[in-house]
Amino acid sequence: MGIVVQKYGGSSLADASSVKRVARRIVESRRQGHDVVVAVSAMGDSTDELLDLANEVSPLPPARELDMLLTAGERISMALVAMAISDLGFTARSFTGSQAGVITDSVHGRAKIIDVTPGRISTALDEGHVVIVAGFQGVSQDTKEITTLGRGGTDTTAVALAAALHADHCEIYTDVDGVFTADPRIVPSARKLDRVSYEEMLELAACGAKILHLRCVEYARRYDIPIHVRSSFSQLEGTWVVPDAAADLPEAEDMEQAIIAGVAHDRSEAKITVVGVPDKVGEAARIFEALADAQINLDMIVQNISAAATSLTDISFTLPRADGQTAMKALAGLRDEIGFASLLYDDKIGKISLIGAGMRSHPGVSAKFFSAIAAAGVNIQMISTSEIRISVIVDEGLVDAAVAAAHSAFDLDSDEVEAVVYGGSGR
């Protein structure tokens, strides 16, 4: 049997007894004959506790030192997991990101993995050890400084290790049973997906589903690593994230291809509207250059045709709420230059996204989506689409109702998804 990479997050490693439970789980895979490599996060809330400590010491801690501090969290959990494994009669070796050969760029706090050189891991596997690797961290290529990958980075560590080691697959253990058609806290009838494609998972992650880190899915797609998202608290099969949702796994042959994978939502954005922009070549570019200069990542952008009488148009876009004030300030400085009428800011919004690779080939999905939301009495403020996603912006207080309405309109809570949609006005 080949190599399996497993990832355990902080909620699976809350205390000593859960560390021992995780160790039993790892040993089980080892007993089955796999070579096992495990990426771990810091225990429970310990990253937040370290951040609190940093903020007590300094209101604006240097990024290099913050990375040095936070990487202590995984160091603790990986050593404890290795101890618990040895207590079960197996041997384990823990390695920091640097020792494991996780090479990154030099951007502290949100470094990108450039390369993985897993020489020490391979040697340890050859010697019969279980290997435990600190997630979320690496060492910069040029400066040999300790870096972190940002929140959720341990998912990415696990997939990067799986790719570098040519693992069979990567198991992401979490505190839920898998990827659901919607957030079960909002839609209790949400159904666990057996499989979902990389593309769908990317859209789900980008649209607010917090189960997998966006970069981890991108990495898995690039290197074609199947991900198995499952609970560390049960033995149930979870959700497989795979190259193509239906085709690659033989047991999927008898299943109908689902059109819709799920409904995601996101309450972390705000909306800005630039009102009365002169409809001339280059005006929009100047607005978005100013926002780019301020390092702001935009999400949805909508511009309608201008009213013929005035030659003025309105441009709306969404962005992380945390960047709201910075963006408004950058735009206010452009007012005289561009000559727009006013700026509107609204952070009481939410985004609902319908995601499914099947919508490529099925017309009428958007009509059904919009009707369902309208029927729930929710007004749509903005719309944007990709090939396999439709997103709408609605009032923040109406997000739950809109999610539930969309979810049942597409029969996602039934066990057999056959929401084939006919007719309607195109997408």
Give yes or no for residue 367 binding a second copy (CB under 8 A): no
From 2, 24, 48, 53, residue interacting with a second copy (rule: CB under 8 A): 53
Give yes or no for residue 252 binding a second copy (CB under 8 A): no
For the bound state, the minimum distance from the C-beta of residue 345 to a second copy, rounded and expressed in Å, comes to 32
**Count residues contacting a second copy (CB under 8 A)?**
38
121 alpha-carbon distance from chain centroid: 27
Residue 71 or 366 having the CB closest to a second copy = 71
For the bound state, the minimum distance from the C-beta of residue 62 to a second copy, rounded and expressed in Å, comes to 5
Among residue numbers 19 through 48, which ones bind a second copy (CB under 8 A)? Answer: 19-20
Nearest Cα neighbor of 220 from 278, 149, 179, 162 is: 162
For the bound state, the minimum distance from the C-beta of residue 235 to a second copy, rounded and expressed in Å, comes to 23
Lateral strand order in the sheet of 130-134: 92-95, 130-134, 35-40, 3-8, 169-174, 227-231, 239-242, 195-197
- CB-based contact 42:79 (threshold 8 Å): no
Residue 157 or 316 having the CB closest to a second copy = 157
Give yes or no for residue 109 binding a second copy (CB under 8 A): no
From 65, 244, 279, 395, residue interacting with a second copy (rule: CB under 8 A): 65
Give yes or no for residue 14 binding a second copy (CB under 8 A): no
Query: Is residue 134 classed exposed, middle or buried when 0-12, 13-18 and 19+ CB atoms within 10 A define those classes?
Result: buried
For the bound state, the minimum distance from the C-beta of residue 174 to a second copy, rounded and expressed in Å, comes to 21
For the bound state, the minimum distance from the C-beta of residue 160 to a second copy, rounded and expressed in Å, comes to 21
Nearest Cα neighbor of 120 from 101, 138, 136 is: 101
Give yes or no for residue 385 binding a second copy (CB under 8 A): no
From 48, 57, 339, 344, residue interacting with a second copy (rule: CB under 8 A): 57
Give yes or no for residue 86 binding a second copy (CB under 8 A): yes
Give yes or no for residue 284 binding a second copy (CB under 8 A): no
From 62, 128, 333, 339, residue interacting with a second copy (rule: CB under 8 A): 62
- CB-based contact 79:120 (threshold 8 Å): no
- DSSP bridge partners of 31: none
- Dihedral, 142, 75, 206, 295 alpha carbons, nearest 10: -40
Task: Check the CA dihedral 162-251-236-416 and report its sign.
Answer: positive
CA angle, residues 50, 106, 43, in degrees to nearest 5: 25
Mask: binding to a second copy, 197-236, rule CB under 8 A, as x and -? ----------------------------------------
* Span of 82-90, 164-172, 241-249, 400-408 interacting with a second copy by CB under 8 A: 82-90
* Strand pairing report for 389-395 and 262-266: unpaired
For the bound state, the minimum distance from the C-beta of residue 369 to a second copy, rounded and expressed in Å, comes to 48
Q: Kind and range of the H or E element at 199? A: helix 198-206
From 3, 27, 38, 66, residue interacting with a second copy (rule: CB under 8 A): 66
Cα separation of 277 and 80, whole Å?
59
The angle, 0 to 180 degrees and rounded to 10, between the axes of the packed helices 63-87 and 46-57 is 150
Residues forming the site for a second copy (CB under 8 A): 16-17, 19-20, 50, 53-54, 56-62, 64-66, 68-69, 71-73, 75-76, 78-80, 82-84, 86-87, 91-94, 99, 144
